[in-house]
Amino acid sequence: MGNSILQVSNLQKEYIREITYRALNGINFQLGENEFVAVMGPSGSGKTTFLNSVSTIDRPTAGEILINSRNPYTLNDDELAKFRRKELGFVFQDFNLVHTLTVKENILLPLTLDSLPADKMNQRLKNVSQFLGIEELLSKRIYEISGGQKQRVAIARAVIHEPTLLLADEPTGNLDSKAVNDVMNLFSSIHTALNTAILMVTHDPYVASFASRIIFIKDGKLYNEIHRGHNRKQFYQEIMDTLAFLGGGQHEL
């Protein structure tokens, strides 16, 4: 696997309510440099909690998370904000774009927060917009573009600061089938061309088949993992078989 971008050791997460609920129960996981891993599992299995813990959104109850050998949960608020902007990129199902800003302003937001010089910002904007094929959208407002275009813009914003780890939570959940294919081909291109490690939660076997490895979480534990070979159709069938064994079809996950 080479060097690990992400190391997760004995990760646990409990929610204290009337009855204590353990969402994660001792997960161990490593993500290598430039590896693309999808996370799947039944509804309530803990896969989103797992992603939220890695992304520093949800503090674990126990265990350790290291991203590039640093534990983000030991940082103060200012250090954590800088760490997120430097190391992590985020892509969500709902795009999370600022509708009052243009496409260009949305994409540049992470660099603006870091006060990058204007010439460097513009060069990175040019590179990422060409790479993602959205040069003609830069002056448009968010409400003027389609769902697939919005996700391209969200991806551009997530990678413009050249993160080492891209985190995606159901990134195709609001897209039609053509846009799904386009977006996943972009993820593959980012993974290959930009040497970016990707960790993606999805319920969709087709989307998951773009990854190089899939981990399955059940009842808060790492249940199984499968690796993609040269035959993507065969990999897709392995995904379907594993999901069927877990007891849920695509629409139940």
The total domain count for the chain is 1
92-113 burial, b at 16+ Cβ within 10 Å, e below that, comes to: bbebebeeeebbbbbbbebbee
Which CATH number does the domain housing residue 27 bear? 3.40.50.300
- In terms of residue numbers, what domain contains 48? 4-252
**pTM above the 0.85 mark?**
yes
**Model pLDDT, residue 46:** 92
Question: pLDDT higher for 227 or 245?
Answer: 227
Question: pLDDT higher for 202 or 44?
Answer: 202
Checking if the pLDDT of 251 tops 50, the result is no
DSSP states of 89-112 as a string? EEEETT----TTSBHHHHHHHHHH
Radius of gyration of the chain (CA): 18
34/73 Cα distance (integer angstroms) = 23
**Model pLDDT, residue 2:** 56
154/128 Cα distance (integer angstroms) = 11
**Model pLDDT, residue 192:** 87
The answer to whether 93 touches 167, Cβ cutoff 8 Å, is no
The answer to whether 90 touches 163, Cβ cutoff 8 Å, is no
Checking if the pLDDT of 95 tops 90, the result is no
> If you average pLDDT over residues 108-121, what whole number do you get?
87
Q: Enumerate the β-bridge partners of residue 134.
A: none
**Model pLDDT, residue 253:** 35
